[in-house]
Chains A and B, each alone.
Chain A
Amino acid sequence: MTTFFQLLIYGLQLGSVYALLALGYTMVYGIVGMINFAHGDFLMIGALSTVFLAMAFMSTSGTLSALQVIAIILIAMIGTGLVGVIVEAVAYKPLRDRPRMTALITAVGVSMFLQNFPRALPFIGPNPRPFPRLFPLIQYNIGGVTITSTQLIMLFLSLLLMFILYYVVNKTPLGAQMRAVSMDKDAALLMGININVIISMTFFIGAALASSSGIFYASIYPQVDVYMGGWLGTKSFIAAVLGGIGDIRGAMLGGFILGISEIFATSINSNFGYMIGFIVLILILLFKPAGLLGKFSIEKV
């Protein structure tokens, strides 16, 4: 039983990383209708920029105060968000009215660029580097189950971010505009909504969330390299589809389902852990073709 709860904690922490990343996929898909394969690389940019920010801060004081950690996280999130906006403006915007496969291939190209550009820079390079400890590490033992303060802070912060996003999308004017654009772009335009700004904002929020998930992921598995976004991105994408792509609650649900099932399956065999997400996905799609919370639209002539 203790093993069960221990695994559940690991599953929740991995699930929160997937959920934060899946949110970006699902928001971009909901609004622009494209699969942004470069989204996972925003996670890498967030984690990598945190490494350098922490180095810069530590070079003056030697240690990091709580305020500095908050500053690092915010700067990394805003910086990555801006990268997302730039990527959209340069690579995706001209393709908005073209066949979606064109945008998908461009996204593959963007992903390659985002991975290999830092790799080619001499001060970053291909080698993995250690991630600084941002959060205090105190172990608590509750009835045989170990939980660390890092895990608690991380879970709390990711739930907080998800709550803020949910609030923004459902209760604010910006969120109303976003939902309007995702429902019908032309009608939204006629209502006086600036579509370009809304799409840029979507990419900003998505990339900033990816950046935070990168920081959280690197806090539990403290190693950062330029390729880390690749497979994490693929799996979060799976999570987004699992929950019903285009639906924010679905992305969160899918992320946690994927994280927990992966941890439990990995405890049996590591390759099986990798497979389980894809198996769960196929099973769910066979019975609910639009994902758990997705709405199935009937094609009209």
Chain B
Amino acid sequence: MKIPKHLSKSVLPIIGFAAIYGLIMLLKSFGIANNYHIQILMFAGVNIMMTLSLNVVNGFTGQFSIGHAGFMSLGAYGSAIITTLLLKPSVIPSSMQIPVFLLSLFIGGLVAALVGFLIGLPTLKLKGDYLAIVTLAFGEIVRAGLRLIEPIGAARGMIGVPTYANLAWIFTFVALTLFVVRNVIYSRYGRAWIAIRDNEIAAEAMGIDTTRYKIISFTFSAFIAGVAGGLYAHVVSFIQPDTFSFVKSSDLLVFLYAGGSGSLTGSIVGALLLTALPEALRFLASWRLVIYALVLIIVMLYRPKGLTGGYELPFLRIHRKELYEGAADPTVPEAEEGE
């Protein structure tokens, strides 16, 4: 029996995800994978979502956000306020915990998206590096602002966020994010973003409202970052403004560009490998970050397009070659001799 192609493309990845999850659970029951490994996997999952979110703005729309940790912190605080302060696990029936958790993630995402929209409105008119700097400033303002608000613990942070997020939830959300991002990239919006990335002036000449699409990209990306932040809060159960500093933002940039920007597979590979690498290098003690930095520099020098180099897994692939970064270089006219 032959499975129809459209069905196999949508069902197989789900089976694949379930199989990987089952394998991890199996390894855990045999005692090969312990809670520490699971914890790292959960962080990696959150990082994958964050990197995908950054990829939407930096990789597919060609704008530079270097303050993405700001959106993450808004989502983390937004959702943690709901589950820790407003609807505490002790005041709601246990059957309501999961709905409250999901609602809090959604609200965390909305808060980040709203702020992303408000930030994007005036600043996306700035170009290139200036936008990058404004996002950097935004991230730091959010961090410093959170440090001032006493009800949410100010600089000490919030403790006792219920640990609702387990590995299954992380898996679900990573899969969901991949699904949504892939399809949005494939849609009219995604095509507009890619057009803006490849040549903004040409895109505008083709009738694309570039500012509008850039704001949509930014808001969409901020929403994902907010949800990822919410998940993060419910994994670690302790959040602090300083967790979401510029260091976090630059980590995310490293995941994105070392993995390969403009490629969904690259985001997964980059976030997964580079979350695991510092942990795997722990035996090196204080030399660990030196080696990590060297690995990063060497990757950027010898694989400037990232580890995946623009490769996309089959189920994430969009069957349009020209949509990949660099595939159609507008400055190099092709096949001139033939004319």
Q: Give a binary string over B121-142; 1 marks a CB under 8 Å from any A CB, 0 the rest.
A: 0110111011011101110110
| A105/B253 contact (C-beta < 8 A), A95-B301, A271-B144 known | yes
- Min Cβ gap B323→A in Å is 18
The reply to whether A102 and B130 contact each other, CB–CB distance below 8 Å, is no
The reply to whether A275 and B300 contact each other, CB–CB distance below 8 Å, is no
Minimal Cβ-Cβ distance residue in B for A93: B301
A234 to B258, CA, bound (A): 22
A271 to B155, CA, bound (A): 10
Interface range for B: 35 or more
Q: Is A2 part of the binding interface, using a Cβ–Cβ cutoff of 8 Å?
A: no
Minimal Cβ-Cβ distance residue in B for A103: B300
The reply to whether B134 and A105 contact each other, CB–CB distance below 8 Å, is no
Q: Is A37 part of the binding interface, using a Cβ–Cβ cutoff of 8 Å?
A: yes
A91 to B289, CA, bound (A): 17
Q: Is B304 part of the binding interface, using a Cβ–Cβ cutoff of 8 Å?
A: yes
Q: Which residues between 287 and 313 of chain B lie within 8 Å of chain A, taking CB atoms? A: 287, 289-290, 292-294, 296-297, 300-301, 304
Q: Which residues of A contact B140 (CB under 8 A)?
A: 234, 274-275, 278
Q: Which residues between 218 and 235 of chain A lie within 8 Å of chain B, taking CB atoms? A: 230, 234
Minimal Cβ-Cβ distance residue in A for B147: A271
A119 to B122, CA, bound (A): 41
The reply to whether A120 and B300 contact each other, CB–CB distance below 8 Å, is no
| A105/B290 contact (C-beta < 8 A), A278-B140, A282-B137, A285-B133 known | no
The reply to whether B304 and A95 contact each other, CB–CB distance below 8 Å, is yes
A99 to B144, CA, bound (A): 32
Number of A-B contacts (CB under 8 A): 118
> Of B58, B141, B301, B304, which is within 8 A of A275 by CB?
B141
The reply to whether B130 and A117 contact each other, CB–CB distance below 8 Å, is no
> Of A109, A116, A241, which is within 8 A of B286 by CB?
A116
The reply to whether A108 and B296 contact each other, CB–CB distance below 8 Å, is yes
| A109/B254 contact (C-beta < 8 A), A102-B304, A119-B286 known | yes
| A106/B246 contact (C-beta < 8 A), A113-B294, A289-B130 known | no
Do most interface residues of chain B lie in helix, strand or loop, or is the interface mixed?
helix
Q: Give a binary string over A259-274; 1 marks a CB under 8 Å from any B CB, 0 the rest.
A: 0000000000101101
Q: Which residues of A contact B292 (CB under 8 A)?
A: 112
Interface range for A: 35 or more
Q: Which residues of A contact B201 (CB under 8 A)?
A: 299, 301
> Of A98, A120, A245, A282, which is within 8 A of B134 by CB?
A282
Q: Is B257 part of the binding interface, using a Cβ–Cβ cutoff of 8 Å?
A: yes
Q: Is B64 part of the binding interface, using a Cβ–Cβ cutoff of 8 Å?
A: yes
Q: Is A238 part of the binding interface, using a Cβ–Cβ cutoff of 8 Å?
A: yes
Q: Is B237 part of the binding interface, using a Cβ–Cβ cutoff of 8 Å?
A: no
Q: Which residues of B contact A237 (CB under 8 A)?
A: 133
Q: Which residues of A contact B286 (CB under 8 A)?
A: 116, 119-120, 126
> Of B64, B123, B297, B304, which is within 8 A of A98 by CB?
B304
- Min Cβ gap A172→B in Å is 29
The reply to whether B137 and A238 contact each other, CB–CB distance below 8 Å, is yes
The reply to whether B257 and A37 contact each other, CB–CB distance below 8 Å, is no
Q: Which residues of B contact A290 (CB under 8 A)?
A: 130
Q: Which residues between 242 and 260 of chain B lie within 8 Å of chain A, taking CB atoms? A: 246-247, 250, 253-254, 257-258
- Min Cβ gap B246→A in Å is 6
A290 to B300, CA, bound (A): 29
Q: Which residues of A contact B294 (CB under 8 A)?
A: 109, 113
> Of A119, A269, A278, which is within 8 A of B148 by CB?
A269
Q: Which residues between 113 and 171 of chain B lie within 8 Å of chain A, taking CB atoms? A: 122-123, 125-127, 129-130, 132-134, 136-138, 140-141, 144-145, 147-148, 155
Instruction: Name the 4 nearest CB pairs between A and B, nearest first.
Output: A278-B137, A112-B293, A113-B293, A109-B296
| Other A-B pairs, 6, CB within 8 Å; known A238-B133, A289-B127 | A35-B132, A95-B301, A108-B296, A271-B147, A274-B140, A289-B125
Name 25 interchain pairs, CB-CB below 8 A, sorted by A.
Answer: A91-B301, A100-B129, A102-B304, A105-B258, A106-B297, A109-B254, A109-B294, A110-B297, A112-B292, A112-B296, A113-B290, A115-B289, A119-B286, A234-B136, A238-B133, A238-B136, A271-B148, A272-B148, A274-B144, A275-B144, A275-B145, A282-B134, A282-B137, A289-B125, A290-B130
Taking Cβ atoms with an 8 Å cutoff, the residues of B that contact A are 58, 64, 122-123, 125-127, 129-130, 132-134, 136-138, 140-141, 144-145, 147-148, 155, 201, 246-247, 250, 253-254, 257-258, 261, 286-287, 289-290, 292-294, 296-297, 300-301, 304
